[in-house]
Amino acid sequence: MTLNVNTLRPLSGTGRKLYIETYGCQMNVGDTEIVVSLMQREGYVYTERAEDADVVLINTCSIRDNAEQRIWGRLAEMRSLRKRRPGLVVGILGCMAERLREKLLEGASGVDVVAGPDAYRDLPRLVREAEAGGRGVNVLLSTEETYAEIAPVRLDRNGVSAFVAIMRGCNNYCSYCVVPYTRGRERSRDAATIVAEAQSLFDNGYREVTLLGQNVNSYRTGEVDFPELLRRVAEISPLLRVRFATSHPKDMSDRLLDTMASMPNICRSIHLPAQSGATTMLERMNRKYTREWYLGRIAAIRRWMPDCSITTDLIAGFSGETEEEHAQTLSLMREVGYDFAYMFKYSERPGTFAQRHLADDVPEEVKSRRLQEIIALQNELGLASYRRDVGREFEVLVEGESKRDARQLSGRTSQNKVVVFDRGSHRIGEYVRVRITGCTAATLFGEAIE
């Protein structure tokens, strides 16, 4: 099987022009590339300017209230754009479309198309309906759709690293989280199509793929589980780096760690969201592990791969959080010594278990103060982690020019840390051995060795 790398059709001025904007997680970024692929088949050409477009699509996120607020703001801007471009079709895709279909179509919202995450094959029809003056709506969730055989149009265009979706949906029902409701049941994509997509990326010069899902370690199709899939992708070439996100701590198996350790091109980097350091809190969150289990998995990672970086997600101020539970989150962070973390203030989401059964009872100023303490500690831990790398050597995959200085290149280590160094005769897409000479809390600076 082959799955060709799909490229953007050049703007020829004939076809109708499509502009698409993406919010939320990498899954959404991947979905946008599927949507562009599907719309290109129908003759639409992609444009980077909303002002030039005939069709504007917004791929949305519902994870926290502020994510949705941003999109309502964007929609208001689209309404004023429409005044200047009558006939403009505006569509809402993704998680917010799924969650707020009725509200999005109310009154003068200015929305013509609403398509949920499993309805993108239907999108050309929905847009045609809107172009004919109607409204196109499809928010049906599927138990099977994985867009397995659709070659995404790569919009990132660094030509070096790409995301490959391996599954969709989520069955975990963490009590605070909206994703199981917006994305539907978990399902895994056929393994052969994943390997074919990674192979074609490699053949086209890509040197890194990130396998994506809400909970990649529960991937399974037939006989192929996640460690096996990872091995098959990593076997494409020792020159192809393989990453994955996100892992759920409850499924972080020894078999996975063993597979990672046995193949040097599987990156030494694990994103393992803890959410909280207190077992009592983890129970309210329905995370299905304890603090001790989590720390046991961290110890296992360190045993198999002492050089592996560990990153996480943390939520401050979830229902009933006591000062003691918050202190346990801080102590967990110290104990693990995270290299990096995404840190959030709890935002109650309509329809979730927490919204229905648990009170959002931590006062706003307490949430903010706790989040600030978490951020301040992580800044400390992050800087310490980067400082430990000074004087060490790493293999860096070059991804592009440094944003600050075109005479410098920027790439990442296997541990996923950004490294900036003088270009010399090196090129994008190459592996370069770099000695680290300095750092900030988010970047390493170094010099090429050969």
- Which stretches of the chain bind ligand SAH, using CB under 6 A? 63-64, 176-177, 179, 214-215, 246, 248, 273, 275, 313, 315, 344, 346-347, 349
* Interface with ligand SF4 (CB under 6 A), residue from 45, 170, 233, 267: 170
236-249 in b/e burial notation, b at 16+ Cβ within 10 A? beeebbbbbbbbbb
Is 225 strand, coil or helix? Answer: strand
In the complex, least distance from residue 232 CB atom to ligand SF4, rounded to whole angstroms: 24
- Residue 156: DSSP 8-state: S
Question: How many residues form the binding site for ligand SF4 (CB under 6 A)?
Answer: 10
Question: Which of ligand F3S, ligand SAH, ligand SF4, none has residue 173 at its interface (CB below 5 to 8 Å by kind)?
Answer: ligand SF4
In the complex, least distance from residue 29 CB atom to ligand SF4, rounded to whole angstroms: 16
In whole angstroms, what is the distance from residue 389 CA to residue 387 CA?
5
Question: Which of ligand F3S, ligand SAH, ligand SF4, none has residue 409 at its interface (CB below 5 to 8 Å by kind)?
Answer: none
* Interface with ligand SF4 (CB under 6 A), residue from 174, 354, 420, 434: 174
User: How many CA atoms are closer than 13 Å to the CA of 102, on its beta-carbon side?
Assistant: 0
* Interface with ligand SF4 (CB under 6 A), residue from 189, 248, 297, 349: 248
In the complex, least distance from residue 28 CB atom to ligand SF4, rounded to whole angstroms: 13
Cβ atoms of residues 5 and 33 within 8 Å: no
In the complex, least distance from residue 275 CB atom to ligand SAH, rounded to whole angstroms: 6
Cβ atoms of residues 389 and 417 within 8 Å: yes
In whole angstroms, what is the distance from residue 191 CA to residue 211 CA?
12
Identify the residue whose tokens are 């030039």.
52
In the complex, least distance from residue 182 CB atom to ligand F3S, rounded to whole angstroms: 5
Helix 226-234 vs helix 191-203: crossing angle, to nearest 10: 20
Question: Which of ligand SF4, ligand SAH, ligand F3S, none has residue 180 at its interface (CB below 5 to 8 Å by kind)?
Answer: ligand SF4
What is the length of the chain?
450
Question: Which of ligand SF4, ligand SAH, ligand F3S, none has residue 61 at its interface (CB below 5 to 8 Å by kind)?
Answer: ligand F3S
Burial of 303 (0-12, 13-18, 19+ CB in 10 A): exposed
Identify the residue whose tokens are 């410098």.
408
Nearest to 312 by CA among 331, 293, 336: 336
CB atoms within 10 A of CB 401: 16
Q: Based on CB atoms, which residue is closest to ligand SAH, 137 or 216?
A: 216
In the complex, least distance from residue 346 CB atom to ligand SF4, rounded to whole angstroms: 12
Q: What is the footprint of ligand SF4 within residues 128-167 (CB under 6 A)? A: none
In whole angstroms, what is the distance from residue 85 CA to residue 52 CA?
9
Is 332 strand, coil or helix? Answer: helix
Q: Based on CB atoms, which residue is closest to ligand SF4, 35 or 177?
A: 177
Binding mask 178-217 for ligand SF4 (x = CB under 6 A): -xx---------------------------------xx--
* Interface with ligand SF4 (CB under 6 A), residue from 173, 293, 304, 353: 173
Q: Based on CB atoms, which residue is closest to ligand SF4, 319 or 385?
A: 319
